[in-house]
């Protein structure tokens, strides 16, 4: 690709990212992103992102706009890349199934948190507390899920030049991990804090974790992993990724 064409492509992406940020008609944006995506390489994305940062856009906003561009550009191909079309033993199918389990756990956390808000007292033998402990213990095992993504899958994506997409997910992982640790500490402190304070903390942590977790899962399922399937099209590479993931283990499944 000639240097001039690369520069023109980066400029076109920069303009499109600004329009995505303004909230222009998504149908038109998707059409333009789809036309651009065929000529894009990682250098174009980086150049466009740097241009927005120089113009004063927050780095997090730039990452989100860039991810939205990638999703819009790939939306036509996405239907063929979801988990229902993957082989039963494909590692991404397993990861996305875990995502569905995590969504269920987050919904359960929201429900039990609301139930506890209505109680006058809570003891460690209460059914609501035992349910909360069960949910938190399973969410805590998410760390194995995160380890597999960060130590196995993301490094492969970075080799292909898509470090920005991984950086967004890693930032989410850090914040999600903090909130899960907060939940663990909270359930362990039941007998050490006033119940009213316990309810306030639970409501706050669950209120942060639920939208954060759901947004992150959507990002990985709809943008990051469709991208991974697009850039890593070597079956042997996926088999190596799967073998490494199996060494770490799967959520709730141990040898």
Q: Answer yes or no: do 153 and 126 share one domain.
A: yes
Tell which of 54, 78, 102 closes a domain: 78
Q: Answer yes or no: do 73 and 102 share one domain.
A: no
Q: Answer yes or no: do 19 and 127 share one domain.
A: no
Q: What is the pLDDT of residues 186-221, one digit of tens each?
A: 999 999 999 999 999 999 999 999 999 998 998 888
Q: Answer yes or no: do 119 and 58 share one domain.
A: no
Q: Which range, 41-45, 53-57, 69-73, has the best average confidence (pLDDT)?
A: 53-57
Q: Which long-range contacts (CB under 8 A, 24 or more apart) does 82-91 make?
A: 82/221, 82/226, 83/221, 89/242, 90/238, 90/242, 91/153, 91/238, 91/241, 91/242, 91/245
Q: Work out the pLDDT band at 78, boundaries 50, 70, 90.
A: low
The reported pLDDT for the residue numbered 251 is 61
**Domain CATH for 206:** 1.20.120.520
Tell which of 49, 78, 107 closes a domain: 78
Tell me which of 203 and 224 has the higher pLDDT: 203
Average pLDDT of the chain to the nearest whole number: 85
pLDDT at 230 over 80: no
> Is residue 221 within 8 Å of 229, Cβ to Cβ?
no
Does residue 255 belong to any structural domain of this protein? no
Q: Average pLDDT of 131-146?
A: 91
Give the number of domains in the chain: 2
The reported pLDDT for the residue numbered 117 is 95
Q: Answer yes or no: do 28 and 142 share one domain.
A: no
Residues 48, 53: Cα–Cα separation, whole Å: 9
Q: Which domain holds residue 109?
A: 86-248
Q: Work out the pLDDT band at 77, boundaries 50, 70, 90.
A: low
Query: Three-class SS of residue 250?
Result: strand
The pTM for the full model equals 0.73
Residues whose CB is less than 8 angstroms from the CB of residue 108 and which lie 6 or more positions away in sequence, other chains included: 131, 135
Q: Phi and psi for 35 in degrees, rounded to 5?
A: -70, -40
Does residue 254 belong to any structural domain of this protein? no
Q: Answer yes or no: do 155 and 190 share one domain.
A: yes
Q: Work out the pLDDT band at 4, boundaries 50, 70, 90.
A: very low
Identify the helix (H) or strand (E) that includes residue 232. Answer: none
Tell which of 44, 78, 112 closes a domain: 78
Q: Which range, 23-37, 62-76, 128-142, 223-237, has the best average confidence (pLDDT)?
A: 128-142
Tell me which of 22 and 130 has the higher pLDDT: 130
Distance of CA 56 to the CA centre of its chain: 25
Q: Answer yes or no: do 175 and 50 share one domain.
A: no
Picking from 186, 209, 171, 222, the residue whose alpha carbon sits closest to that of residue 63 is 171
Does residue 114 belong to any structural domain of this protein? yes
Secondary structure of 54-111 in HEC code, one letter for each residue: HCCCCHHHHHHHHHHHHHHHHHHHHCCCCHHHCCCCCHHHHHHHHHHHHHHHHHHHHH
Tokens found for residue 48: 């466009």
What is the percentage of the chain residues whose pLDDT exceeds 90? 42
């Amino acid at each position: 690709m000639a240097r001039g064409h690369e520069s023109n492509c980066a400029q076109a992406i920069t303009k499109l990212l600004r329009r995505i940020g303004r909230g222009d008609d998504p149908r038109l944006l998707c059409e333009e992103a789809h036309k651009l995506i065929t000529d894009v390489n990682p250098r174009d994305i980086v150049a466009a992102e740097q241009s927005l940062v120089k113009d004063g856009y927050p780095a997090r906003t730039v990452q989100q706009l860039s991810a939205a561009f990638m999703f819009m550009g790939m939306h036509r191909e996405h239907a063929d890349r979801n988990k229902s079309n993957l082989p039963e033993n494909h590692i991404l199918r397993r990861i996305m199934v875990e995502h569905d389990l995590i969504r269920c756990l987050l919904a359960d956390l929201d429900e039990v948190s609301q139930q506890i808000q209505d109680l006058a007292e809570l003891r460690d033998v209460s059914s609501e507390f035992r349910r909360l402990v069960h949910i938190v213990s399973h969410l805590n095992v998410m760390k194995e899920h995160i380890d597999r993504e960060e130590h196995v899958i993301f490094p492969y994506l970075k080799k292909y030049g898509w470090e920005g997409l991984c950086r967004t997910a890693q930032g989410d992982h850090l914040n999600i991990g903090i909130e899960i640790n907060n939940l663990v500490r909270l359930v362990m402190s039941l007998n050490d804090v006033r119940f009213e304070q316990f309810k306030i903390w639970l409501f706050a942590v669950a209120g942060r974790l639920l939208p954060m977790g759901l947004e992150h899962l959507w990002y990985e399922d709809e943008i990051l992993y469709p991208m991974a399937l697009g850039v890593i099209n070597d079956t042997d590479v996926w088999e190596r990724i799967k073998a490494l993931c199996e060494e770490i283990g799967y959520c709730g499944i141990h040898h």
